[in-house]
Structure formats: structure tokens, C-alpha cells
Chains A and B, each alone.
Chain A
Amino acid sequence: MTGLVYSFILLPVINSLLVFLIPNRRKELFRPLTVYLSLIPLGLCLYMFVNQNLKTSFLEVDSIPWITAYGIDLIIGFSGMSFLLITLNCLLVLLSILSVNQEYAESKGFLGSIMLLQAAVNGVFLAGDLVSLFIFFEALLIPMYFLMGIWGGSNRRYATIKFILYTVFGSIFILAGTIYTGVLSYISSGKFALDFESIASMSITTSQSEILFLLFTFGFLVKVPLFPLHTWLPDAHVEAPTAGSILLAGVLLKVGAYGILRVSIPFFTEGFLRYQYIIAFLSVVGIIYGAIVAIVQIDIKKLIAYSSISHMGFVMLGISAGRYLSLEGAVIQMINHGITSGALFMLVGFLYDRRHTRRISDFGGLKKSMPIYASIFLFTSFASIGLPGLNGFVGEFMILMGSYPTFKVLTSVAAFGVVLAAIYMLWAYQRMFNGQLDNDENAVLSDLNSKELVAVGPLLALMLFIGIYPSFIESYVVQDVSVIYESISNLIGVSQ
């Protein structure tokens, strides 16, 4: 069991080393080998789902003494929510490698960086203490820096540095919070115990809890990103290569929300109760703002990037409401957004590979030349909008239902986000796929080939599966959500 959990971090690292070891003249081997290698972590995930009881709250599996003089141990563990996110990560890594075009498939640096990113993200979800959480949280910047910097678009330098500096600026707050927690733990127990169990049992005053909540939450919110901290996201998405965008939207944004659910709320609940209104307000601003800005975008990739801000706003609204239903909805929405936005970015990438433009006005009538592509795009758009029967509906509905008792006005406003989502997605669809096929370049575009269908197929299947059978996912997050919810309800003494 311990070895299995470690392998989610170590296997991708070993895989990337294996890819780096292939000589450059065997370019044709890179992608097949990477695909087979990344099937292993995904297979392990499925093995764990079948054979292990994953429906648990956070469970420490192993601890390694790190700095013995200070009593800091590195702890690894897992929970149902972690495993859902890890599975999503492994799946998206596999599919994004499948989906990239020939240029990227022949670069082992690109494929290796993606797998290092996979290892770091898995590490964040498996971390059982604040230090290892921070280590992996920062370590994932290194592969992301190279992915965006080397294989990004024309303005990649600006976007990469902005992304790095924003994240680092956020993470120094997390570091400060970690250090503060360590010092408090030293005062109470005589050692810098930073594992989740000791922090949960640590007694802190209300003002300390508020400061710590602010420190951690600010750092994680930069990554989510919440409304005024979001400006790195559109730049990063537009400049990142397709695979980078898929992983950025699919899993990296979840790292922030995961951190809030794992650290900020359960450990510093008093701070959460004090500031939940501010977060909820900013989330709703983000929902509406992201959606309105998405409407006017002329670049389809930027449109999806702004839609991510809107969708992650729903996640943060659900989290900030702090009700059982809304928290559960937020976790499910995290998974759903990973699937749908990953699929959308992948589809945009397919189109860009063919046409080398992302301007919506360059297209029109594409459904005549690419009927399969058009239908898949429409299907994914519906999932993103939240059409009942598809996955997007489940999460947003639960969030809105759950948040309403806490924030009546804000939730009512947020509900308009769903309407706006329909406007920007469907209007973009209309302009790109309907109408006359008047541009000759568009007329000769080939439809999706079998490789691309294989890459996007699993995501489509998941959208449908979660849409009609959401209790499968729900059953894995129940324990985690109960722990978070209990920490809140114990304080306010209300049950619902």
C-alpha cells in the first residue's frame, strides 16, 4: 500500500528519466513510449479504485523524518478526494500526450516535462503535511516554466514570468503560514510538527486562526484564481502549448482549491467563518466578470480561459458557503471542470494545429467541413454550460442549491453565470460552426482522425457518465467533505 502511494510520485519521475534516456535519433519512439509509460500510473489508479477502500478521509500512509533537529517529518497519505484528482491528473496527462501534434511528440523535453509536472501535482494531492505540500506546490513551477517558456506562443516570455511571479508571490504567503503554524506548534508541543493530524489537534486562538487562514487562503487563491488575482490566467492559457493548457486548466487550478479544502478550512475554521463573505462576494464577481469578459473575446482559447475563471468562481462560491451540499458540489465541480475545460482546450488545440489561428472570426460554417469535430465541440460546450444530463450541471446545481441558504443574494446573482455561460459558449459555437463556409481555407480542413478521437473520447464518456451517475464520484468525496463540514458545523453548531 505504501509503495503504491509512493509510486504515484516516483513513477512519473522514472518515466521522464526513461524518456530522456532515449537517443534523439529515435524520435519516432518518444510518443509511443511515453503513452505506454503514462498508462502505468493510470492503471495503478484504476487498480486502487477496484482493490482498495478509497472512500476515506485523509489517511496517513507513511512518514519520513526530514529535519530531525526540528522534528519535521514528511508525510504522505491519501483520501477519496485526492485520488479522484490524481486519477484526473493521470488521465489528462495521458490524453494530452496523445493529443499533441507531431512537433511536440518528437521533443523528449516536452514529454518529460509533462511527466515531471504530473509527479509534482500528484505530490500536492498526496502530501500529508504542510512542508511537503509546499515543496510540491513550488516544484510544479519548474516543469511548467519550461513547458510554457520553450513551447509556448509568441508572447510566452511575458506570460511565463507573470505566471511564475504571481504563483511565487502567492506561495510566500503559504510559506509564511507554514512557518507560523510550525512556530505555534513548537510553542504548544515542543517540535515543529506540521503534519495534518497535529495541526488539527493544535489549539490556536481566534486571531491566530484568522491570520493563518488569510495567509494560506491568499496563497491558494492566486492559484485558483479568484477574481482580482486572476490576470495571469488568460495570458498563461493563450501562450501555453495545448498540452500545457489542458493540464493548467485541468489540474493546476484545482491545486489551489484543493489546498483551501485540505488546509485553510478544516484547520483554521474560525478564520474561514470570518472571511467567507468576502470570498463568496469575490467568487460571484469572478463568475459574472469572467462570463461577461468571455462573451467579448475574439480568441477562442482566451474565451475558454475566461470561462475557467467563471467556473472556478462557482467552485469557490460552493466552498465559501461551507454547507455540506455546496462543499460536495464544489469538489464535484472541480473534477467536472477539469474534464470539460481539458476537453475544450484539446479541441481548440486540434483546430489550431489545422488552421494556425484561434480567432473566432476566421472560422464559420465549420460543421460542413468537420461534422464530427463540430458535434463533439457542441457536446463539450453543453457540458461546460451545465446542461442537465451532462457533468457540468451536477456540480453547479449542487453549488447553487447548497449556497442559497447561506448567501441568498449572492447565489441568485451567481445563477446568472449559467445563463451567461450559455451565451458565450453557444454564440462562439454559432460563429465558428454555423453559417456559410465562405473561407476556402476552412473548406479543406480535415475532420478529426482516429488518434484525436481516442484522445478526446474518454473525456466525452466521463462527461456523460458523471452527468447521469454522479453518485459514483460523490461516494468518494463524502468522507472528505464530512470532515470539512464537521469542522465548520462544530463551530457554528448548526446541522442541516
Chain B
Amino acid sequence: MSEISAAIGFNLIVISPTIALVGTALALLFFTITIESNEIVKKSITFLGMLITSFCVFLKFGLFFENGVSSYFTQKILLDEFSLFGNVLISLILLFNFLPIWDSSKQLKEKTTEAIILTLMSASGFMLMVDSENLIMLFIGLEIGSISLYALAGLNRGDKLSNEASLKYFLLGSLASCILIYGVSLVYVSFSVFSVYNFALGIAYVGPDSVPLTTSIGVLLIFIGLLFKIAAAPFQSWAPDVYQGSPTGYVGFMSSIAKVSSFIVIARLCLVSTNLIIENFNIFFLIVIVSSALIGSLFASIQEDLKRLLAYSGVVQSGFILSGIVSGINGTSASMFYLFTYILQLIGIFIIFSIINGKLSSEFNIQSIQGLFINNRFLATSFCVFMFGLAGIPLTSGFVSKFILLTNLWAYEKYLLVSILLLSTVAGFYFYLRPIWIATIEKTEAPIEILKLKKSEYLVISTLVTLTIFFGLVPSSLINISRWIVRSYL
């Protein structure tokens, strides 16, 4: 028995975060169906589950330092720096989003547990996705994660926009999944392999110049499927509607977790599987990045809904992160730094949105934050810090991430990308400073009702603000971590 498990690489630790998340979800389900339990029990179970997940990620570090980069379950699960980074980020996203998710779910009354279970299942899927070595595992993880997200978008059944968001997300998301799995099948047709490493071996075997056309198309389709998830233009059309329609309390979770996992998978695909033929896709990525920067900046400047604005800003930021990933190893490390700091700012902004706008509401007109500064100084200041961070103003982590990313791009001699991205930064100053203007400067006739924050909300928001400023002033540690992630590809 043990020989068999050793042969197939059976190791529970490596999938322990996923197991912990699924286990928590099942426990919640059990408590809901069988025993009449109060909210405190459920809340503690959820929080405990998230803590156990983080602990399991910690265990995986132990396994990694023992075995190094290694694959398990007959080359289905991979343990490398990227998967660890992804696990850490996903558990951080869960922990930071616990409050808005819990509070939103509580407002759903009879569907509370349902929403929490969806969240946990989604996280478990994306955990699996960042761990996947096998393209089919990648697809399974992505689907487990995404299907829960489609349901989360439509949780508020009474709200038309929420329904629309869910349907749109589902239809376009399934289309993207189809494209992805078709790409996987095309890749399989050429080399009869699913593993990303074996795929790279296959390409090396036939030689990068004589890669069959079906493979190239397959890789392209895989990339398109993943680019859809990160909302890079021209695959961004779902993002504004989904961001706007989904219950505000869940948007921070939904947007950050899908982005993190997809970017990590894209980075691994670029560095491992297709590193020999990645130059064939230069034009494709150039178009994607340039159109992300332009379309995102252009449309973000004219939005009247804050959540739509953040969606388009996400398109621009995706362009930034993607530009580093596709240009090389050092660029990938800069992108990982960028991803980390961007996710922290994104979560922070959406926590603030969910406090101001109500957890379940969909539309969020930009004028409704008028007088925020008079109402709640703490919220307004944190909002400004996150917005400054997204705009890339010095003293926040946003500046450092843009600076090192552009430095790497320049070193790769991608001058066109640098100039386009710099210009989009200027546009960013326009559309990120506009909400700040409305929140702090514009005088309001009718002040919005006084917002009272819970102690835990203070704690989470101030932690995120501190991290945003800390990585802006002392970025060295995180940059070293981001370089550690890519060290085995150097």
C-alpha cells in the first residue's frame, strides 16, 4: 500500500488547504441541516476553517523546504514557489475578506450558510488551480472556483442587476471555460500530455521552430481562457457589469481571488510550458496589454459608478501585471510584487465600499460618497491611501510596484509598452483622484448617515493601510520574496 502511495506521490499535506476548506464547508452544511445552531457557532467554524487553511499552507512550506519543487498524485499537483505564493495570497484574501463576506451573508438571512459555503468552495477550487501541474486539474480547479463565483454574483435574488451580473458572468465564463478546455485538448492532440512540464519537454523535443500549428492555437486558446478571468482587454466586457451587479460585500473576494490564481497560472505557463515558444505570442500579448491600458483608462475616466470604475481600473492593472509576466523572469518577479500590493489595495477599497454602500446593494453611484470625509475621517483617509496606491503615487506600494515593473520592462527594451503604461498612469491620476475629490473636497448639502465601524473593521482596514504604506516605504523584503518565487527559473 505504502509503495503504491509512494509511486503515485500520495501526500495529503500538499492538498491540505483544499481539504481544510472543503471540510469547513461540509461542517457548516452539517450544522445547518442537522443541528439548530446559532450564528456565533457558524461564525467561529468559518473563521476557524480559514485559520486552519492558513496553518495548512504553513505546513506546505515545511514540505517544500524538505522536498523542494516536487509533483504529487502522478503529476497532477505541483508544489513549487508559485503554488506556495498563490496559497498564501488566497488564504490572505480569505482572512481579509472574512468580515465583509460574513456580514453580507448574515444579511441574506436564510441563505447565510449557502453563501459562506460557496465562498469556501470557490477558494478551495482556486487553491487547487494554483497547485495544478496538470492542465485538466487546472481546468477542474478553475471550474470549481468559477461556478461558485457565478452563484455568489447572483446571491441577491431580488436585485435585477445582481441577476444580470450572475447570468452574464455565467454565460461568458462558460464560454471562456470552453475556449480553455478546447485549447487543452488541442495541446493534448499534439503531444498526448497534460502535465505542464511534459508539455515543455515535448516542445523542446520537436524544437521550438517546428511546433505544430494546433499546439500554438491550443496555447493561445488556453491563454485567452485565462485572460478572460483576469479581465484583460479585449476580454473585459463582463467585468464592469459583474462588479456593479454583484453584492458589494463579495466583489472584493470575487475579483481578487480569480485574478490571483489566473495570474499565477499564466506566470507558470509562460515560464515553464511555453518558455521556448513564448516569443511567438509577443504580438498577441502586446495587443492585449496595450488595449487593456487604453480601454481601461479610457472607460474608467467616464464611469459614474464606483464599482464599474474599479472594474476598468482592474483592466489597466491587469495590463500592467501581464506586461511583466510575459516579458521574462525578472519581469515576472516584479509582477508578483505588483499582484500582491494590488490585491491588498483592491480588498481594502472593496471593504470600504461594502461599509459605505451596504453589503448587498449593487449600484454605487460616485456621488454617494460625497461628504465621506466629514462623516468618517478614518474611512475617507484609508480610501485616499488605497486610491493613491492604485494611482501609483510615491510613498505607497503602488509606486514601488510600478517603478520596478517599468524598470524591468525597460531593461527588456520594451519601450512601446513602457510609454503606453506610463501614459495610462497619467490617465489614472485623473480617474483615481476624481473619487477622492468627491469624497474629501466636494461640499455636500445632505450628509450621508453616520457610518459606525466595528472594531474588527477598524483593525482590518488599518492593517491594509499600514501594509500599503509599509511596502511603499520599505519594499525590500517583499521584493526579495518576489524574487525568491522565480529563483528556480533563473
Binding site for B on A (CB under 8 A): 65-70, 131, 134-136, 138-139, 141-142, 145-146, 149-150, 157, 160-161, 164-165, 168-169, 172, 175-176, 179-180, 182-183, 186, 192
Contact = CB atoms under 8 A, between A and B. Distances in A.
B466 interface: no
Nearest to A132: B394
Contacts of A131: 403
Contact of A179 (B407, B423, B474): B407
B403 to A, nearest CB: 7
Given A67-B400, A165-B426, A172-B423, 4 more contacts: A65-B476, A149-B441, A176-B419, A183-B410
Given A68-B476, A149-B437, A183 B407 contact: yes
Q: Summarize A's interface: helix, strand, loop or mixed.
A: helix
Given A134-B394, A135-B395, A164-B433, A146 B407 contact: no
B422 A165 contact: no
Interface centre among A65, A66, A150, A179 (most CB of B within 10 A): A179
A176 B426 CA distance: 13
Contacts of A172: 422-423, 425-426
Interface in B393-435: 393-395, 399-400, 403-404, 406-407, 410-411, 418-419, 422-423, 425-426, 429-430, 433
B479 interface: yes
B393 A176 contact: no
Contacts of B404: 67, 70
Interface centre among B399, B400, B418, B429 (most CB of A within 10 A): B429
B430 A138 contact: no
19 contacts: A65-B476, A68-B476, A69-B476, A69-B483, A70-B407, A135-B399, A138-B399, A145-B433, A150-B441, A164-B433, A165-B426, A165-B430, A168-B425, A172-B425, A176-B406, A176-B422, A179-B407, A180-B410, A186-B411
B372 to A, nearest CB: 14
A150 B476 contact: no
Interface residues of B, number: 30
A138 B419 CA distance: 18
B475 interface: yes
B429 A168 contact: yes
Contacts of A146: 440-441
Nearest to A152: B441
Given A135-B394, A157-B437, A67 B422 contact: no
Contacts of A142: 388, 393
Contacts of A161: 430, 433
B410 A165 contact: no
B475 A66 contact: yes
Contacts of B480: 68-69
Interface string B215-233: 0000000000000000000
Contact of A138 (B393, B407, B423): B393
A70 B475 CA distance: 11
Contact of A141 (B393, B441, B479): B393
A437 B410 CA distance: 65
Contacts of B403: 131, 175, 179
Interface centre among B399, B407, B423, B440 (most CB of A within 10 A): B407
Given A139-B395, A157-B437, A186-B411, A175 B406 contact: yes
A182 B410 CA distance: 10
Contacts of A164: 429, 433
A346 B394 CA distance: 31
Nearest to B419: A176
Contacts of B388: 142
Q: Which 6 A-B pairs have the closest CB atoms?
A: A135-B394, A149-B441, A172-B422, A138-B394, A168-B429, A179-B410
Nearest to A148: B441
Contact of B479 (A70, A168, A179): A70
B476 A182 contact: no
